Structure formats: structure tokens, C-alpha cells
Amino acid sequence: MNNVTITKEVDKKIETKGAVDLSVGSFDPATMSVATPEQEGRSNHWEVRTQEQDYAFLPTHEDRSEIKEKNRYGQLIDCVDLSGLPKERSMFINENPEVGTNPNRNKQHGFFFTADNCIGCHACEAACSEKNENPAHLAFRSVGYVEGGSYPDYKRMNISMACNHCDDPVCLKGCPTKAYTKHAEYGAVLQDPETCFGCGYCTWVCPYNAPQLDPVKGRVSKCNMCVDRLEVGLKPACVSACVGNALDFGVIENTPENREQCKTSIPGFPDPEITHPNIRFQQTKTLPDEMNRTDSMPVKYHKDKEGNYKPVIDQKAGKAKHWNLGKLNSRENPLVLFTLFAQAAFGTFLIPFLGALFGVEALTSFVHSDMFLPLTVISLVMTAFALLMSVTHLGKPMRFYRGFNNLRYSPMAREGFGLALLSAGCGITALFSLPMNTWVNEVSIELFSLNLVELSAGLPLSNLQLGAGIFTILAGSGGIYYMNKCYQIKARPFWHHIQTATSFLGNSLSLGAVVSGSIVVTTLILSKASSALIEQAIILFSSVFTFGLLLEAIGLIKHNKDLNKSDNEGGAAHYIQCTTFGKTYLLRNSLLGLNVLLASSLLLSTLLGFNDINTLLILWSALAVLNAITAIIGRALFYILVIPTTMPGAFFWKNKGFEQHARDIGLADNPATGVAPLAH
Amino acid sequence: MLFGRKKRKPISIPAKKVKEWKYTTCNYCSTGCSIEIGLDENKKLVTSRGHAGADVNRGKLCIKGLLEHELFESPGRGTTPLIRNKHYDKFEKTSWDHALDTTAEQIKKIQNKYGRDAFAIISTGQLLTEEFYTLGKLARGCIGTNNYDGNTTLCMASAVSGYKRSFGSDGPPGCYDDFEHTHCFMAFGSNLPEQHPIIYWRLKEALEKRKFPLIVVDPRVTMLAQFADIHLPITPGTDCVLINAMMHVIINEGLQDKAYIDAHTQGFEEVKALVQDYDPKSAQHVCGIDEDKIRTVARLYAKAPAAMSIWTMGINQSTHGSDGVANINNLNLITGNIGKPGGTSLSITGQCNAMGTREWSSCSGLPGYRYLENPDDRQEIADFWGIDPEFFPKKRGLAETDIFPAIETGEIKGLWIVATNPMTSMPDTSRIRKALEKLDFLVVQDVYEDVEMNQYSHVYFPAAVWAEKQGCHTNTERRVNLIDNALEPYKESKPDFWIFNQMAKRFENGQKIHFPEKPEEAFNEMKKLSVGTNAYGNERTLDISGMSYEKIMKARGIQWPYREAAEGEEETLKGDPRLYTDGKFQTKSGKANLLPIKFFNNNEQPCKDYPFWLNSGRVVEHFHTRTRTGKIGNCNKFSPTPYMEMNPDAAIELGIEHQSYVRLTSRRGDAVVMVQLTQRVPRNMVFIPFHFHDCVNRLTLGLLDPHSRQPAFKQGSVRIDKVDQKEAAQLNVERRAF
């Protein structure tokens, strides 16, 4: 620069020309082709790079000594031995029938993550997204981190996580459409987006956030283990791209060269007992006792006596209680309506029909009245509306019929199936009730000159109606039972509680009692039934109503008690319930408590002889409205609050708090922000 | 299939269907990774991959390189030349001819009225070497302005200056292979995992094979600092004190390499005398590293059979940048760690072709490390180009950082900006904005028409990018590598090479000087200019005479010096991995200069009104001013909006919450950022990535290094105030066009 001393000595000058004439043998790199012996002896599923490096190739394990027979959970590592399927089957990747040349293709494979080494450089994520052509808002692999300590004694541990191709793939079992397959080849759990109808249930059950629901395309997709690369003996793209020497891949339980540990857990990773994930870790560096998450999840990880890190609540939202009533209105609204209406529909049919079956006089007379048909139709309409709501929640509603494909494993398929049968049962019951219904028969005679009573004279209608009714009750019970089962998810401890069951059953009874009770009592009044009969009906329905409320309340009390002691994501969700939604939660609880108190007092006074029917009806109606409000708030909270056991996110990426903020302020309108607008 | 499944579900994985792989080198940082671009049978780009056979990256790429092929059709690309009368008018589309004619007329008009130097040119480190050489010809030989510089002044000028002061010439003397041989590795203000992930990988590979101590000097607990055996969390701007104290220990304990010092250096006594003032006992209070640690590190470094230092912006972007580099060189010279395997002073460069611009652009002189100050150099180049040597100035003109103040004072009236974005990258944005408003004429040549610089331009030239062009890069280990033109330029954009050639035709000297049509012809001119000796009769280190595009591609890059193989000698396609292996330096005496570096404290420091250090730097997913990475969603999503690392303990005192917005103020201006609380930074410091427009550089002071004219981006002070969250969020969205 400016510190150069000038001298005159230049002893050798280059040849100079005025007008330069430099002839160029122009070089066209395109004509330079490089032979690729790298592909030799390998299948054609993936093009091996010229001069591919060792790090990209899977070890062949030719001596077999390094491969264990069983994994640490006792499961056979050889999937052919495990399944009894033949070897050398084609995977038909992109319909290509060629059988892969990987000698270990029938062994369960898995990722190996050296947490000591990850630098959080995003190369794995980028390589994955490039290969799979994923838009910015989707990723099969994501890197988040936990951090702890105090400057300068500070440690950040990055965690790169994709699908763990579990021994017990809860996604596969949960998926109602059978979109998932666990292959005997590599033990890969693959999902077919073309089969998926976008219910997102797999994203609920997976503890690692592996399946990705794309709100734009309305379907799930996930890590495919790069089986195309595996079939030529290459490691997955993410592993090959790793710059920190943190990610590796191979036959499970096999500790890679240069690594000394092979464990199943690191701070931030959910309990491996849930799914027996096929991932192993090395994490030898000492970390601070407490590791925090930078994302908005109110969870941090604390070291226990054995040196394992367990989730504990991180009071990120402070301690103040808020309303946040606006947030009750969420994309889960259809599910709020679905569950409430389905439960109400079931209760509506169940209470009068079962009551009649047990010979309660008021109900026997009702079931034999002309008003029983409208009640079954109302129950049918409510179930149908509920199912419609659940369908609108799907990413691909037109594929709703696929919802029953996995009755073998999926509680969701069974739930849907049960509720479909419930509506069918209501329909059949209604059908058998038609000929016996005086109004219908009159209309039929008038319009079509058909006397239904005569037409059906030979049929045992009462028995058929009874049978159909019992079928309806069984179907509905199944539906509601599996509805509860759907939420008994280990990866979502807030739901994984008896409270889900008590709330679903409680609401079935309380809401069902309101709907059926109003029909039955009105019928009795209009048909000028004796006041004793009316009183009997009122007492019965109010008992059921009160019992429903009580059941829900007891469940909630236990939920509150258990979660107050819980340190995991369930406790964290409850912490949010008590802070961010603290006032709303209190309101719901007070309303429910008040309702229980009022309902039991009213019931008691009726039993003690207070029998002014008009007053009773007005008061019960008020309590019914109160209950409807409580139920809606409660169910909305149920969906909004759940915190899954999921991988720690980063400051922007996979941070729910930032995603919400980006949507709120409009940053998400730019697709390069990587935050998808919500489709529902 | 397990779990009783019989029916096969189809497995669909995107198949890339590549017909042809085109060879290129990455266009982001200076690591110099080889990339192959995959074209399908319709010549449409479908994918890319790292070249597994290239020595630099061995198939690996970082996030930016992996997704780089997505930039060709990203939003905001310039499609056609634009023109307007005033910067506040609306742009109109125009033809290339009209845009070039207007620009040439304006340049001449300004030069006629105010003198040749009243028109300035600021270029970049992003172009191809042939383009730099051509721009140099145009700027020095045709337009004839002396106010011509590159944005490398913002990143590498201190390294260049330090190298020149110590060794007599620029050019990093080491290479990545040194990791395989070193016994002690010391990083000053360099965060390889985030800034140069592939170089980090090379280091990690070496460490996994053979463990050696890793010492990291950085005020932040970066990823590299976290992995260090010894982390020295230094007080910003005091590296010279630390190094002097280390040398104090080394020299006073007799640990220096006496034989090497005697044979190959000059000035030892002055250094020895100076470092007596830097006893670790007193130095610890200045640099913030305790005396025990200083001694440990000094002894470790001096006793290692081979020790190496790397540095990046932590050293360069400081008022002691050049001094810091010279002092790192001092440390390595007195321990005999220059030019030997595993012993080196390796500056880790920022931009992909910062080296190319240093070597061939004529920014700081004339092509091939020649000096304007040297009459023989002027004569030689004038003869080679076929012009009168008197056309050249006899002294280097203004650096980029002095050009803007000269616009401010009215000395410079017109400016040509090539592939750089001072509106975001220069310190003190408001000052830059004011200066740009004053220009009579501004032409911006860039790949993107939404580059913030374009807000003040009168003419805009849409440039082609990366693999739409052909030519070379030189990486940080002096490896010349090739970029092939895999694709046609986007819409009406043109390669920079073409633009310079067309502009040359519009100047008188452009008729005299030969401007070849093809990049390789320009490369051949450079080859010719690279042989011979420098001003002191030393053989030129920057000798590329043995290279050709074909050989470069075959070797996946060749390091300079690389001379033609003598007859009968087998061609190795390998240049010299290291410089100065013979202990001969490019100085008059042939000896390296040991320079006494005196510390003086002229930094803006935290005070009562502005209590926080303001530190800035890079994140891995973004490059420079985000004009490219901000539009690639799979990069941008990892930091789509500006943020600031802040210590949680400091935040508690101020009542500031994680992921809320705050307003920062400095003596220059203000910025609104989102807070990320982390113990990564000390209680009295905040760190803000520099990539975002209207953000950290609204605050920075950027005092200039006296030797290199590089701004001290990393030493300034700020105050933090709470803001209305809603308004801040709105402002944040408004300030992000991309």
C-alpha cells in the first residue's frame, strides 16, 4: 500500500507488446468428460459422484463381526429374520425395479449423532432440503439447540434431528390411511404423501417432530432415509454433507469408527422408551447442570442424580395470569366442534334409548312416541356435522374415505369408523322408526298413497329398531372410546391423562342430556303426559347432566393435581394454562364448579319436592347454556395448550413463538421467511 | 414390509435427471469449494453437488454452497438496464447501448469539469479474476481515475497491509494442509464453523486424526471458542497487547527461534525492546486475559514443533488491523513458524475472489502486485497495454473508505459501484446515504436491481452472476480455480467482463488497449504479466504462468506460484502449497520485517451513556448484505430478520425480554432489533449480524486503520432502550424488502 519503497532495480522484464496478440486455444469444459468407475458394481438408484470420498460410503461390514444380532431392546436387527420376508426384494423407488446392491440392505439402519461435534451449520438441513426439493417452510431434518452456563463458561449443544425410523413407529400405527410402511429394507419407515389425507395425527404422536405437515400442500411428508442413496451403498445426503463430523449412519447398535459411546439419550431428546428410536448418540463433554431452550417452549432440561437430563418447566411466560380469549379461536376450531358435537350426539341417543331399555317409564313412552324419530335424526345430523368438521380439518378433505384404512392399528381410524357407524346406526334406527311414526305415515299416504304400516306389517319393526338402537350405542361407545384413545399419546403428556376420558364422557352425558332432555321433556309436555312422568324425566336428565359435570370436574381436579407435580411437557402445558390462559382457565373452572353446585342444588330441591315445571325448565336451560360455554372454553384450551415432547428449536427456525410473531406482523407473507401461513 | 403390510406403497424421491455436470467454484466465501452444477437434457439447471475430487472441499459444501444454484432465478434480479435523471425519479428501462453511452458521457463530463479523479470506481471481491483485470485496465488505463478501490477494504485490507509490511508482499503464506502438520493452532477473531465451515471441516478432520491444541481468541463464545482447549475471551481491540505480552514471555524466557530470527528477519531488537513494556502482569489489565493464561499460551505456542495462526475480521476490522496482522506475523517469525508445514500466518479471507482483486484488479496499484509508486511497474504495464505511462498516477489514490468522505467534501462527483452494497456494508449508514444523495452521477452494476445501492443510482447495469460467466477465483490458500459458464445470463443481464469491454470501447485509450472477447484470453495476459521479478529482483510469488483453464479444471484448482514445467519435467498440476519456504521474503533485503507494534487506545468504548460494546459479524446462512441468501428461503429462514445477542443478566437489569424488540442508539444513529438472550456474549456486549440493511451499520463508527484504511466495525458502543413492540415489529417488516 503506502509503505512501499521504490527501487530502480528491475533486472528481468517480461516481454511486452503494444497491441496484444494472444492466441487462445479456446477451452470448452463441456467437452471434458470424466469417466466414473465409481458406479461400477452398484445399482442405478443414485449417481455416485466422481472420486467420491470415503466419508460418503456406508461400511460394507464384510466380516459381519460388527453387526449385532439384536438391538438393545431385544429386537432382531435383521428385518428379514424379523419379518420372514424374502431377501432381494425391490423397493421400486420411483418405480425402478432394480434391486439395491447394498449388502446390508435388510439390516435395521439408524443415524448416529455425535452431539459433541455438531456446529449447527445447517449443512445437513440444506443438503436434505435440496435433495428432497422441500420449500423453506418444510424440513425433514432440523437443527435446534440447548444452551447453558454463564459467560464465558457457556455451552451450546446443537441437535440435528430427522426421523428415527423407530422399532415401534407410532406414526405408522397412528396413521388412519396406511400411508406409512416400515420396510424390511434398512428398517426404513417411509410415508407416501399421495396416500396421506393431511390429518396430521402422525405429527401428534411422533415425539421427535419427524413427520412434517405442509399446510400449503395439505399433506404430510417426511425423511425417506435417502433409500435411493442407500441402495448404492452411500450414506444419506445429510450425513454425507455433515461438516462437523457429527452425523453418521449405519447398521443400528454399531458404534462408528472413531467414536467411543453409543447411547440412546442426550439432553433435549425425548424418552426413547416411547418408540425405541433407531438413533444412537455420543455426548461425552460435560454440560452445565441446566440446559435452556431458546425457542418459546416453556421447557428446560435439568441434570438428575444419574446424570440424565430431564425436562423441567421454564417459566418463560412469567407468573402473571392473562385472559388471551382471542387465542382460543385457533386452527383447531373444527376439532373443538367435532369432538363436542360427536359426544353430544352420542349422549343424545344414548340417554333416552338406554333409559327406555332399563324400563324408565317416561323414556319408554318417549321411545314409542312419534318424537323418537326426530331425536334419532337430530343425533344423526349432529354426528354428521361432527364428521364434516373433522373432514374440514384434513389437508385433503376429498380423501376422507381413506380414514378407515388402518383399523388394525390406528385409534383414529377406529374413532372415525365408530362415529361413522354411530351415524349409520342412528340412520337405521330412524329408518325402522319411520313406519311406526304417525306423521310420516300420514304424509306418505297423502303424497304417495303408501301406507307404511301396512307395507311393513310382516316386519318385526320393534325388534329391528331395538337391535339398531343397541348397535348405535355400541358403535357410539366404540367411537367415543377410541376418540379418547386418540389423545392418549405418550408424546403429549397433557392429553395422556384420565382427564381426557372423563371430559369426553362427561361432555357426552352433560351435552347429550341437554339435547335429549329438551326433546323428551317438550314431547312429554306437549303430549300432555302426567306431571309425575314429566318430573321423572326432569330428574333423570338433570341427574345425568349433573353426573356428567361432576365427572368432568373430578377429572379436571386430578389433571390439575397431577400436572402441578409434573415436570415434563405436560407440566409445561399446565404452566401455560395457569399463566397465559390463567384467567380463562379460572373462569372455566369456576363456571364448571358453579354449574355443579347449582345443578346438584336444583336436583336436590326437585327431589325434595320443588316441582314448578316452568321454573325448573328455565333454570335448567340457563345451566345448559352455562355448560355449553364451559365445554367450548375447556375444549379449546385442551387443543391450544398441548405441548408435545419435541426437539428443541432454534431462535427463528422451529420456534413456535417466532412463527406466530411472523404471522402476526406479516413477515410470514414472504415465503423466504420459512413460516407457512396456516391453511385453516 | 413389517407390521403385516402386504401392499407396496410407492416410494417417490425427487430424481434429478442430470445429463451434464458443469464445473464451477463457489461464488460466496474465499474457501474456494468446487461445485458441479447439474443440467438436464434441456440444459435446465436441476441440482448441484460438491466436487468430491477437489482438494479444497473434497465433496463437502456449506449451507450456502449447497443451495447456491437456487440464486439464478431469485426475486429482484436485474432484467434490463435502467436509467433516470434524478435518484428520486422513477427508473425507465433502456437499452444497453443507451445505458453505456450515457454512463461514458457522464464520466467524461465529470472528469472534464472537475478533473479525472472526480469520478470514482468502487468494485468488489465477488467478480472473476479476468473481470478484475479487465476493470483494472478500464479504470487505470482508459478512464484514468486514481480513486478506484474494492470493497475488500472492508474485509481484507488489513491482512494485505500487514502481509506487505512484514513480508514485503501480499499473499497468505500457508494452506489448509497445514492443519495436518501443526502442533498448535491459534485462531484470532475467526469463527470457522460459522464463517468458513468447510475450512473448519478440514481442521476437524485433522484434529480427529491427530489431536493438537486449539487456542481461540474471541470476545464471544463462538462455536470454535466453545471447542477450544483454551479460550481467551479478550477485551475488544486489544489483540496487540495480548500478542506483545506473549512475545514478552517468549523472548524473556528465550523460547524464540534464534536461528530463524537471525537468518531470515530484521528488526528483532526493536521488537524485543518494545515488548518489555508488555509484561503479562500489566498487559492482563488491558486485554482482559489473566497473566497465567498469557504465559501458558505463549509457552505452548513457542514450544510447539510447528504452530500456526489464523485470523479473520476480529483482527482486520479494527483500528489496529494492520498492526494486528503484523504482530501475528511477528509471533510466527520469532517462533520460526513461516513457510513450514503446520507453521504459518494464514489470513482467512472473506470474499470468494478477494484474492483475485488483490492480485489483478489494479485497485491498490497495477496488476500482479505491481505498484503505481514504482516507475518501472508503470512503464511495464503501460508498454504491455500499449499506452503512455504518464497516463498512470504516481501514487495510489483513495481507498473505498476515503472515497465516501471525498464525496462528502465534494471532491468526488461521480461513482461507479460494481457488485457491492455500501448502503448496507459501510459503517455509519446515514453518512453514506447523505454522500450518495450528493452525487451528480451514480452507476450501479449488480446482479440484483433491488440492491439497496440502487436507491441512489442514475443508471443501473444488470449483471450476470456466478456460473452464468466464465473465469477464475483465487481462494485463501492462493488456489486459482475455474468457474464455467453453465448457464446463459439471466434475461438481458450481461457478464461483467462484457460490460467492461463495452465501456472501454467508449474511451480513447480503449481503442489502443486490447480488450479480448474471451475471458481465457485475459487470463493469458495475466499469465504473461505474472512471470519475472518484482521491484527488488525477487522472483514473483504470484506466478500463474504454468496454468491454463484446462489444467486448472483437471487439477480442480492450482495454487500459485505455478510455473510452466521445464522441458522433460513431468507436469504435477500442483503449485507451491506454501510461500517463503526458503526463508526468502519479497523485501529489499530478502528478510522479513519484525515490526514493533505499539498499542494505543483510540476505540470508542462503553461509557455511562452508551454502556455496551457493539460487536458485529457473520452468520453461516447469510452472505454479506443478503442480496443473494436473503432470497433463498432455505438459507434465509434461519435468520429472516435482524437480531441481537445479549447477555440475560444485563437484560434483567434493563427489564428486557427474550424475543422482544429493542432500540439501540449510538452516537451515529439508531436501529431496532429483536433480542436473543444468551450467555454467549458478556454482560457489557451485544452482537448483531452485519447482513441486514438498516441495522447494525446505522450504529457503527468504523474508525479507520491508519495503514489499511479498513474500518473498525467491531469496536463501538451503544445504549439499549425499550420500544413499543407493535411499532417496532411494523418497522422491522417495513425495513425488509427481502
- Chain A residues closer than 8 Å to B736 by CB: 667, 670
Report which of A197, A212, A183 is spatially closest to residue A404, judged by C-alpha positions: A197
Contact B403, B415 (CB under 8 A): yes
Query: Hey, which residues 256-295 in chain A have their CB within 8 Å of chain B?
Result: 258, 294
Q: Which residues pair with A428 in a beta bridge?
A: none
Average pLDDT, whole number, for chain A? 92
Contact B34, B24 (CB under 8 A): yes
Report percent pLDDT > 70 for chain B: 100
Helices B157-167 & B321-334, crossing angle to 10 degrees? 40
Question: Does the complex come out with an ipTM higher than 0.90?
Answer: yes
Q: SS3 for B414? A: strand
- Chain A residues closer than 8 Å to B5 by CB: 178, 181-182
Instruction: Please name the member of A24, A661, A666 whose beta carbon is closest to the beta carbon of B520.
Output: A24
What is the nearest CA distance from B19 to chain A, expressed in angstroms? 11
- Chain A residues closer than 8 Å to B528 by CB: 14-15, 22
Residue A215's identity, in one-letter code, is P
As a whole number of angstroms, the distance between CA B412 and CA B111 comes to 10
B106 has pLDDT over 70: yes
B374 has pLDDT over 90: yes
pLDDT tier at B75, thresholds 50, 70, 90: very high
Residue B736 confidence (pLDDT):
82
Residue A25 confidence (pLDDT):
43
Average pLDDT over residues A661-678: 92
pLDDT tier at A26, thresholds 50, 70, 90: very low
Q: Which residues pair with A93 in a beta bridge?
A: A96, B11
As a whole number of angstroms, the distance between CA A21 and CA A1 comes to 32
Closest residue in A to B620 (Cα–Cα): A121
Q: Does domain A325-649 have CATH number 3.30.70.20?
A: no
Report which of B395, B514, B499, B417 is spatially closest to residue B141, judged by C-alpha positions: B514
Residue A64 confidence (pLDDT):
63
Q: Do B383 and A117 touch (CB under 8 A)?
A: no
Q: How many CB atoms lie within 10 A of CB A23?
A: 7
Instruction: Please name the member of B63, B221, B525 whose beta carbon is closest to the beta carbon of A123.
Output: B63
Average pLDDT over residues A229-237: 97
Q: What are phi and psi of B265, to 5 degrees?
A: -130, 165
pTM for this prediction:
0.94
Report which of A551, A253, A498, A135 is spatially closest to residue B70, judged by C-alpha positions: A135
Report percent pLDDT > 70 for chain A: 94
* Strand runs labelled E in A209-294: 212-214, 219-221, 247-251, 279-282, 290-293
CA B284 to chain centre: 31
Instruction: Please name the member of A1, A55, A173 whose beta carbon is closest to the beta carbon of B164.
Output: A1
Residue A268: is it exposed, middle or buried by C-beta count within 10 angstroms (0-12/13-18/19+)?
buried
pLDDT tier at B7, thresholds 50, 70, 90: confident
A22 has pLDDT over 70: no
**A52 vs B: CB within 8 A:** yes
**A228 vs B: CB within 8 A:** yes
Closest residue in A to B631 (Cα–Cα): A672
pLDDT tier at A65, thresholds 50, 70, 90: low
Average pLDDT over residues A559-565: 96
A132 has pLDDT over 90: yes
Contact B349, B172 (CB under 8 A): yes
Please give the interface size between A and B, counted as residue pairs whose CB atoms are below 8 Å apart: 346
Average pLDDT over residues A4-18: 41
As a whole number of angstroms, the distance between CA B562 and CA A463 comes to 100
Q: How many CB atoms lie within 10 A of CB B288?
A: 17
Query: Hey, which residues 411-430 in chain B have their CB within 8 Å of chain A?
Result: none
Residues in chain B: 738
Q: What are phi and psi of A310, to 5 degrees?
A: -115, 145
As a whole number of angstroms, the distance between CA B78 and CA B91 comes to 12
Instruction: Please name the member of B374, B512, B514 whose beta carbon is closest to the beta carbon of A6.
Output: B374
Q: Do A653 and B549 touch (CB under 8 A)?
A: no
**A594: CB partners within 8 A, 6+ apart:** A626
Q: Do B620 and A122 touch (CB under 8 A)?
A: yes
**B164 vs A: CB within 8 A:** yes
Report which of B183, B187, B179 is spatially closest to residue B205, judged by C-alpha positions: B179
**B565 vs A: CB within 8 A:** no
Residue A14 confidence (pLDDT):
44
As a whole number of angstroms, the distance between CA B499 and CA B510 comes to 13
Q: Do B9 and A178 touch (CB under 8 A)?
A: yes
Q: Does domain A109-298+306-311 have CATH number 3.90.79.10?
A: no
**A125 vs B: CB within 8 A:** yes
Average pLDDT over residues B644-651: 98
Domain borders along chain A are 1-51, 109-298+306-311, 325-649
Contact A244, B193 (CB under 8 A): yes
B44-68 pLDDT, tens per residue? 999 999 999 999 999 999 999 999 9
Q: What are phi and psi of B451, to 5 degrees?
A: -60, 135
B394 has pLDDT over 90: yes
Which three three-digit cell numbers place residue A266?
A: 442426550
Query: Hey, which residues 502-541 in chain B have their CB within 8 Å of chain A?
Result: 512, 514, 516, 518, 520-521, 524-525, 528-529, 531-533, 535-537
* Strand runs labelled E in B34-177: 34-39, 45-50, 82-83, 92-93, 119-123, 148-150
What is the nearest CA distance from A615 to chain B, expressed in angstroms? 51
As a whole number of angstroms, the distance between CA B74 and CA B53 comes to 29
What is the nearest CA distance from A163 to chain B, expressed in angstroms? 16
Closest residue in B to A47 (Cα–Cα): B18
Closest residue in A to B533 (Cα–Cα): A12
Contact A216, A501 (CB under 8 A): no
Residue A118 confidence (pLDDT):
98
B501-543 pLDDT, tens per residue? 999 999 999 999 999 999 999 999 999 999 998 888 889 999 9
CA B220 to chain centre: 21
Q: Do A181 and B9 touch (CB under 8 A)?
A: yes
Average pLDDT over residues B287-294: 98
B2 has pLDDT over 90: no
**A454: CB partners within 8 A, 6+ apart:** none
Q: What angle do CA B261, B266, B271 make, to 5 degrees?
A: 85
Q: What angle do CA A51, A57, A60 make, to 5 degrees?
A: 130
What is the nearest CA distance from A419 to chain B, expressed in angstroms? 25
**B62 vs A: CB within 8 A:** yes
Residue A13 confidence (pLDDT):
42
Query: Hey, which residues 312-331 in chain A have their CB within 8 Å of chain B?
Result: 316
Residue A525 confidence (pLDDT):
92
